[in-house]
Chain A
Amino acid sequence: MADPRIGIIEERLKGVNRIVAVSSGKGGVGKSLIASTLALTLARRNYKVGLFDLDFTSPSTHVILGVEGLQPKEEKGIIPPQIHGLKYMSIVYYSGEYASPLRGADVSNALIELLAITRWNNLDFLIIDMPPGISDATLDIIRLVKRIKFLIVTTPSRLAFETVRKLIDLLSELRIPIMGVVENMKMKESQFIQQQVEDRGITFLGEIPFDTELEEAIGNVNKLLATQFSEKLGEIAKNLEP
């Protein structure tokens, strides 16, 4: 007759002001780094921030944040633990270092479960690191989280933008708000992405140059926040603040 978990999701998120899905059509464009760094940046600006890694089969934000030995508290549901000033939730609390080979229906079920039992309480921002593409997780977030807004990440590559274009078209057709597009890993001067984005009536939030120092900052939040990548994202983040 009915899945009781679905009816409680809005209630669980009612204390969250802005819910931002960091998304892309393609993998490898820097979604997780952008989602994590954006969450950290906003937290350093004294906002209450949550970060939810929804990339269940390939989670990576825990590596970026250097999360070790954390477990959520159980109190009439799940209370996400705090790390670096963020409330942080990931499937790795349960899957550990092992692979989670999930089909689409399993991804949906796990996503519904975590949305239904996680108590975020009051937040200014909940940043969601989405898996790439427009399949189950994206469709479920659109279906279940009515106030969702998308922040889309692309690289200068036409291959990345070809998939991003489809994500933009889908969201526009469904009238899901798009906060804007970030062009990541920029290596040479080109207006191609900005032009394409603006032609579609979408905000071009800015570009982030390819940062050769970034890899070494993974797992060390202070180092990460001192990178050029972070500085540039920090400027972009100002456009997302209330």
Chain B
Amino acid sequence: MHEWALAEAVISTVSQIAEKEGLKEVAEVEIKVGELQQIELDILEFALSQLKTLKLKNVKFHIKTVKAELKCRVCGQKWIFRKEKIDEEIAEAIHFVPEIAHTYIKCPKCGSPDFEILKGRGIWLESVKGLR
């Protein structure tokens, strides 16, 4: 239920943005979820629906997943993170703190742990739209 904590973060930040931009009601929120964090979308959506505040009562959450693309800083190799290829315990550690990927995942070409997460790390608010 770590997704619940992230959903709370989304609701809190959307509320702060709505306040700052003078929105009376929030209509649409676009959220990007990186595959590296392996967030359970069903749980995230459920938590979001339960945590809605009055200003967000009619909001539509559009959640898009983004493939986790990694690039080795040593040899330049690019690859896509695939959960199925790693141990369940390691996958869970990465789920809580995606940077733990550097502890367990190595470049498939040269074996270095020094890689960049180009995209698809975790949760990100792409846009917040509403009525002024």
Residues in A lying within 8 Å of B, measured CB to CB: 1-8, 11, 56, 74-78, 91, 94-96, 98-103, 106-107, 109-110, 113-114, 116-117, 119
A sample of 8 cross-chain residue pairs with beta-carbon separation below 8 angstroms, ordered by A number, consists of A1-B128, A2-B17, A5-B6, A5-B122, A76-B4, A113-B98, A113-B99, A117-B6
Distance in angstroms between the alpha carbons of A98 and B125 in the assembled complex: 32
Number of B positions contacting A (CB below 8 A): 33
B131 within 8 A of partner (CB): no
Interface of chain B, helix or strand or loop or mixed? Answer: helix
Whether A4 lies near B99 (C-beta < 8 A) is no
Distance in angstroms between the alpha carbons of A114 and B1 in the assembled complex: 15
A-B contact count (CB 8 A): 107
Whether A75 lies near B125 (C-beta < 8 A) is no
Which of B8-16, B52-60, B63-71, B77-85 touches A?
A: B8-16
Residue from B14, B100, B128 in contact with A100 in the complex, judged by beta carbons closer than 8 Å: B100
Residue from A8, A78, A114 in contact with B13 in the complex, judged by beta carbons closer than 8 Å: A8
A95-B100, A114-B97 given; A4·B1 CB < 8 A: no
Distance in angstroms between the alpha carbons of A8 and B51 in the assembled complex: 14
Whether A98 lies near B103 (C-beta < 8 A) is yes
Q: List residues 96-132 of chain B with CB under 8 A from any CB of chain A.
A: 96-100, 102-104, 113-114, 121-128
The smallest C-beta distance from A160 to any residue of chain B, in angstroms, reads: 29
Whether B6 lies near A100 (C-beta < 8 A) is no
B2 within 8 A of partner (CB): yes
Residue from B104, B114, B121, B127 in contact with A98 in the complex, judged by beta carbons closer than 8 Å: B104
